[in-house]
Amino acid sequence: MTRKKEYGNESAEQYIEWFLPFAKEFKRVLTNDGSFVLDLGGAYLPGNPVRSIYQYELLVRLCKELGFFLAQEFYHYNPSRLPTPAEWVTVRRIRVKDSVNIVWWLSKTPNPKADNRKVLKPYSESMKNLLKNGYKAKVRPSGHDISDKFQKDNQGAIPPNLLEIANTESNSPYMKRCKEAGLKPHPARFPAGFAEFFLKFLTDEGDVVLEPFAGSNTTGFVAENLKRRWISFEINEDYVKGSMIRFG
């Protein structure tokens, strides 16, 4: 079930044909070691408690028709998302809350620039204890051979492809400043932590970041803070005016 949003979203059924011409141009301007990150929310088929598979259909066409490579799939889990769609989740109680977006990390070549050492997570307490007390190299019951290299301190743990990032933009400085200035904020802001993860992981200082559907320009703001150059496009002038508040 998808509702028409005020910022002009396409229905799941129309989205693929609408999006592909844009994707063709993204690939044209993308560097050989660059990345194209696409975050897609899920949708139900109109009037039925069954899911659209448009994300997967789009992925196949991006790869088969336009020649993108799927570097890796990610899942963006937002624990603060509301229980929707209400008809299936809170009224009939036949589905659970939809809290995960699919993220396709695509590239022009099989070897895009990436470095997971720039997005390490803090070690768990058990790993900290292991580093402190040592670990006896052995073959685990699963068959994995854990060598003594396992206890090397790499200054953090490699993150998984499940990104748990709560969307708390409703309390952000952007929202407060929009209210003070009498400007209507963009209704679909995504968390800065999402942009920060991929910009750190896939780009270096001085690289150019393109955000073709900027909205409130979270990506441009994060890119500026991370010393990346950036270009953002937004068709709605009111959202552009509001986005300038981020840089106030």
Nearest to 158 by CA among 202, 115, 204: 115
Assess whether 177 and 247 both reside in one domain: yes
Assess whether 20 and 84 both reside in one domain: yes
CATH of the domain at 89: 3.40.50.150
**What tens-digit pLDDT sequence spans the chain (248 residues)?**
344 445 345 677 789 999 999 999 999 999 999 999 999 999 999 899 999 999 999 999 999 999 999 999 999 999 888 898 899 999 999 999 999 999 999 999 999 999 999 999 887 766 666 666 666 656 666 666 555 555 666 678 899 999 999 876 666 777 788 777 777 777 677 889 999 999 999 999 999 999 999 988 999 999 999 999 999 999 988 888 888 888 87
**Domain edge (last residue) among 166, 186, 205:** 166
Please report whether residue 102 resides in a domain: yes
Please report whether residue 156 resides in a domain: no
Please report whether residue 204 resides in a domain: yes
Tell me how far apart the alpha carbons of residues 219 and 22 are, in angstroms, rounded to a whole number.
Answer: 18
Tokens 């070549």: give the residue.
109
DSSP-derived 3-state class of residue 242: helix
Which tokens belong to 132? 């402190």
Please report whether residue 228 resides in a domain: yes
Structural domain harbouring 66: 1-115+161-166
Please report whether residue 75 resides in a domain: yes
Q: pTM above the 0.95 mark?
A: no
Assess whether 68 and 175 both reside in one domain: no
Please report whether residue 126 resides in a domain: no
Q: What is the pLDDT of residue 64?
A: 98
Please report whether residue 20 resides in a domain: yes
Q: What is the pLDDT of residue 186?
A: 73
* Sequence letter at residue 182: G
Assess whether 2 and 97 both reside in one domain: yes
Assess whether 22 and 105 both reside in one domain: yes
**Domain edge (last residue) among 166, 193, 228:** 166
**Domain edge (last residue) among 166, 188, 205:** 166
Please report whether residue 145 resides in a domain: no
Count of domains forming the chain: 2
- β-pairing, 208-211 with 229-232? parallel
